[in-house]
Amino acid sequence: MLANRNAMATIAVKDIDVAHKFYGGTLGLQPLESSEKGVLSYQSGGATVIVYASQYAGTNQATSATWSVGDEFDSVMRALKAKGVVFEHYDLPGLTRQGDAHVAGSFKGAWFKDPDGNILHIVNR
């Protein structure tokens, strides 16, 4: 039923203007037209990221969205750092840290938070 349908990330935020600066500015996502008040839509590759105002913003303690950046992992990390993104450091089974990246074999991942504390992730897949 859903196997041939696109999924999208839907992320709750407290302040839609602050979120716009982060998702559109810091992350560089392309804004899409949004007709709903308090809702922003962004194009991210072939996917859509929806950001909406909610009293529950930042309460998710797990990853909200992941971007697959492939071989550009290191350059994407550098670009995000240059824009003020601070990467999270976690103790995760089977992963070791190399700087801000979490590594296991050929896997590299890095986590960071948006202004509301939503956990976001980049991966070299």
Please give the Cα distance from 74 to 114 (Å, whole number). 20
pLDDT in tens, the chain (125 residues): 889 988 999 999 999 999 999 999 999 999 998 778 889 999 999 999 999 999 999 999 999 999 999 999 999 999 999 999 999 999 999 999 999 999 999 999 999 999 999 999 999 99
Please give the Cα distance from 27 to 42 (Å, whole number). 11
CATH code for the structural domain at 9-123: 3.10.180.10
Q: Is the pTM of this model over 0.85?
A: yes
What pLDDT score does 35 carry?
Answer: 72
Residue among 41, 55, 49, 47 at smallest CA distance from 13: 55
Sheet strands (E) in 7-118: 9-13, 30-32, 39-44, 47-53, 63-68, 87-88, 96-98, 101-104, 107-113
- Tell me the domain boundaries of the chain: 9-123
